[in-house]
Amino acid sequence: MTEDIVIVGAGAVGRMVRQILEDCNRAGANWNFCGFLDANPALHGSELHGAPILGDLTWLAQHPGAAVALAIGAPAARQRTISHVQRIARPKIATLIHPRAWISDRVTIGAGVIIYPDVLIDCDVTIHDYALINKTCTIGHDTVIHPFVTMAPGVKLGGTTVIGEGCDLGINSATIQGLQIGAWSVIGAGAAVVRSLPANITAVGVPARVIRSREPGWQL
């Protein structure tokens, strides 16, 4: 059965999520891609790669049967967007997994998760709602990824790692096994995390060191 779907976000992430959607259809899924939704009114009525930009999130109120794919890279913006979506309508939030991802049979994946190609996920991993796992990421066994996490391309997580809600892990960053990174923290590109880190910080370097702390709730 074919199911209508729109992509929220008409930027670079949106273009890639459309490609994932198309590749899923080639592998046997039955999504009918209707177009993009975006908050920028200057884009409304135009096209992106031949697909219409239909309007903003209010479009969902008139199209309650359409599923939604969240193509928002920044964790805080993704959290605000899903809150806005749920105030307007209660659509199905699609989970999209690229057919070229390798995922153990014993992995739990929540709603609204987007997994790019060439991702490797070991056994007994839990990925909570609205996480975005970019290309070539690897996730070790027994790891827990909380909601709204973004993993940029090439992130490597050792086994039994816990990544807190809303963390933003930069390109090619990595952790050793058994660590925790607190909620709404930012890990810089190429950083090597060798000890647990608190919430609401930014850490960079090899080994990763904290260079900034924020007040709780800074992302709201």
CB 176 within 8 A of CB 158: yes
**Residue 60 near residue 37, CB atoms below 8 Å:** yes
The total of other beta-carbon atoms located within 10 Å of residue 76's CB is 16
Amino acid at 45: G
Q: Starting at the earlier edge strand, list the strands of the sheet with 51-55.
A: 47-48, 51-55, 31-37, 3-8, 67-70
92-148-191 Cα angle (round to 5) = 150
CB 134, CB 117: distance < 8 Å = no
Catalytic-residue membership of 44: no
Active site residues: 141
